[in-house]
Structure 1
């Protein structure tokens, strides 16, 4: 139970928080070249990918998931981010935005790059 609370519960909580925030109707935002909204998407999905990797790596029931935690976490993050964008079609005042899906995927990709850089011990 300690392992679940420490490693799996945070990712489940983050997924539910994303779903809840994605279910809130919003007003259209002002468009910028690089929107603060897109940076927020990337940051949120960076954290999701990190939490998923941590949960998969630290579980012991499925060794395959632990060995491949980073790649599986990235795929799950991109799939979830895309599914949330599609889900938003059903939320009044929201719509699916391909650029949000790209920002979500960019957050996952940024985590993968950061994780690989960090695991190689590269220093500034």
Structure 2
């Protein structure tokens, strides 16, 4: 197996492992606690977890071997990250002691989008420096 294929597979292995970790954490009912009102610390955790997930998705989707996704890895990272966040929140309906929270999903999605925006700006500025 070539080094490129190993590197390609390792990036996807990271994405899949992290997605499974999120799934496992959302399956544990003891991580949840009764919330009264808006808890900003909880939303920061949600934001950070999905910001990392978004970055890992971008790394995997922006590889040359991804012919389909290569054209717009930011869009597909947002699509896949947002779908995972929504699925994670909806899944929690079936977990005893957990619940689906729109604001948790919103924090997740903002984490996904903000990382992609940041990466897009960095890529754009690098491209402009090369063209100058």
Does TM-score exceed 0.5, indicating one fold? yes
Unmatched 5+ stretches in structure 2? 127-132
Cα deviation for residue 51 of structure 1 reads 0.7
Q: Is the 8 A contact 1:7 1:58 kept in 2?
A: no
Alignment partner of 1:93 out of 80, 92, 97: 97
RMSD between aligned residues: 1.9
How many equivalent residue pairs?
121
Aligned counterpart, 1:16: 20
The secondary structure found in structure 1 opposite 2:29 is coil
The secondary structure found in structure 2 opposite 1:67 is coil
Alignment partner of 1:2 out of 6, 25, 46: 6
Name the CA distance, whole Å, in 1 between partners of 2:47 and 2:110: 6
Name the CA distance, whole Å, in 2 between partners of 1:78 and 1:58: 20
Name the CA distance, whole Å, in 1 between partners of 2:104 and 2:38: 13
Aligned counterpart, 2:42: 37
**CA 30–86 in structure 1, closer or farther in 2 if over 3 Å, else same:** closer
Cα deviation for residue 67 of structure 1 reads 1.6
Aligned counterpart, 2:62: 57
Q: Is the 8 A contact 2:74 2:120 kept in 1?
A: no
